[in-house]
Amino acid sequence: MKTRLNRYLSECGIASRRKSEEFIKDGRIDINGKTVIDLAFTVDPDKDIIMLDGERIKPEKKVYYLLNKPKGYITSTDDEKGRKTVLDLIETKQKIFPVGRLDYDTTGVLLLTNDGDFTNYLTHPGNKIPREYKVTLHKPLEEEDRLKLIKGILLDRRKSRFIEIKFISKDERDKVMVVAVEGRNHFVKNMFSALGYFVDRLERTNYGGLEVKEIPVGSYRILSHREIEKIYEAYSK
């Protein structure tokens, strides 16, 4: 059965569909000995010989890891400065990549996979996949500012908001739980910073319904394909 080339590359774990399109446009893909730069080109994996930079591409089994990210690791596949990456915590022979990013000092829920389509699904703004964070601020959050963050403020010239903000306890007004559907870099920190608050500690406690309560910090577990299907079912329109 034929499928679009960019989708096939993504399904093989080569890269996301968007990145795969860059590979195609750059002339790095050969089909049956001929370079293909047509983004709409379709292939039959059972009949066509598909190569990237001279190496044949073969379908790869999809794997999904749920990591309880500790501090001190960058969310990347490598680092030119030699810092530890989240891949150092996962034992696998397959080429995987993080779904989105968590800052160096941010902890909690992080997904890693070789499934480009699933990555795009979780991170695409239009799908509004919720992320929940536990935030410790450098000072108590004023009620007026809490309401502003829910109603929406201008951030990077765009109206941005938290879906929900609630205090963890009545006595500790510097600790809140927030829910967002935005995935921009440093989004939570930048939202609070816009109103004069500094985030002392940030932990992602939930992403698309997945939590790490039972996973020790720095450890992970493999997600089943059924768990992935449930995420699609829960948030597909």
Confidence class for position 17, pLDDT limits 50, 70, 90 = confident
Pick the CATH number of 64-125+214-235 from 3.40.50.970, 1.10.3210.10, 3.30.70.20, 3.30.70.580: 3.30.70.580
Q: Which among 232, 168, 216, 235 is positioned nearest to 69, based on CA atoms?
A: 216
User: Each residue of 162-205: pLDDT tens digit?
Assistant: 999 999 998 899 999 999 999 888 999 999 999 999 999 999 99
Q: How far apart are CA 237 and CA 235, in angstroms?
A: 6
Residue extents of the structural domains in the chain: 3-56, 64-125+214-235, 130-207
Torsion sign over Cα 5, 8, 12, 16: positive
Average pLDDT over residues 36-47: 90
Q: Which among 197, 194, 155 is positioned nearest to 176, based on CA atoms?
A: 197
Contacts of 17 (CB under 8 A, 6+ apart): 6, 7, 9, 10, 116, 117, 120
Beta carbons within 10 angstroms of residue 58's beta carbon: 8
Q: Would you name the residues annotated as active-site residues?
A: 103
CB environment 209-223: b (16+ within 10 A), e (fewer): ebebeeeeebebeeb
User: Each residue of 81-139: pLDDT tens digit?
Assistant: 888 999 999 999 888 999 999 999 999 999 999 888 899 899 998 999 999 999 999 99
CB environment 147-168: b (16+ within 10 A), e (fewer): ebbeeebebeeeebbbeebebe
Average pLDDT of the chain, as a whole number? 93
- What DSSP element (H or E) covers 146? helix 143-151
Q: How far apart are CA 136 and CA 177, in angstroms?
A: 9
- Please state the three-class secondary structure of 180-224 as a single string: ECCCCCCHHHHHHHCCCCCEEEEEEEEECCECCCCCCCCCEEECC
CATH class of the structural domain 3-56: alpha beta
User: Each residue of 206-235: pLDDT tens digit?
Assistant: 999 999 999 999 999 999 999 999 999 999
Superfamily grouping for domain 130-207: Pseudouridine synthase (3.30.2350.10)
Q: How far apart are CA 194 and CA 187, in angstroms?
A: 11
Q: One-letter amino acid identity for 165?
A: I
Q: Do the Cβ atoms of 205 and 143 come closer than 8 Å?
A: no
Q: Do the Cβ atoms of 49 and 29 come closer than 8 Å?
A: no
